[in-house]
């Protein structure tokens, strides 16, 4: 009988409580009625599988029409980096990011798209949208 040496192997992953929402900062946007679309993009978004702890690498694109606030970019970088060791489903990560940024910025609209690199023959893209009230 061949023993499955991978059956009990996993890497430790942090809980969603490790996501650093407190680091996020806003700066004023002086043109709230301009319908300006702001797009931030990174190919360096990472989190980990909640079951195995194996890394998920992704391209993240966030676009929004701001109300009166913009997210300060250094704080956004630190916030996104805080996902690095968090065990979170891919579909949950995109919604978590959207929820946190909508609560912070109160934008007119926002879309967060995360395109995960292929793993195990499957590529995942998750898109979450917010349309203001």
- 56, 68, 96, 100: the active-site residue: 56
96 is catalytic: no
Pair 57, 117: CB distance under 8 Å? yes
Secondary element (H or E) of residue 125: strand 125-131
3-state SS, 18-34, equals HCCHHHCCEEECCCCCC
12 is catalytic: no
Unique residue bearing structure tokens 């978590």 = 96
The SS3 assignment for 102 reads helix
- 12, 30, 33, 49: the active-site residue: 49
Pair 74, 90: CB distance under 8 Å? no
Which residues are known catalytic residues?
A: 49, 56
């Amino acid at each position: 009988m061949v023993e499955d040496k991978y059956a009990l192997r996993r890497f430790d992953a942090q809980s969603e409580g490790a996501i650093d929402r407190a680091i996020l900062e806003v700066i004023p946007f002086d043109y709230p009625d301009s319908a300006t679309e702001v797009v931030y993009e990174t190919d360096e978004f990472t989190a980990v599988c909640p079951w195995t702890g194996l890394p998920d690498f992704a391209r993240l694109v966030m676009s929004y029409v701001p109300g009166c606030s913009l997210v300060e970019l250094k704080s956004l970088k630190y916030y996104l980096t805080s996902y690095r060791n968090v065990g979170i489903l891919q579909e949950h990560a995109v919604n978590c990011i959207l929820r946190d940024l909508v609560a912070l910025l109160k934008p007119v609209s926002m879309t967060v798209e995360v395109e995960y690199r292929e793993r195990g023959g499957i590529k995942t893209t998750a898109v979450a949208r917010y349309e203001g009230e």
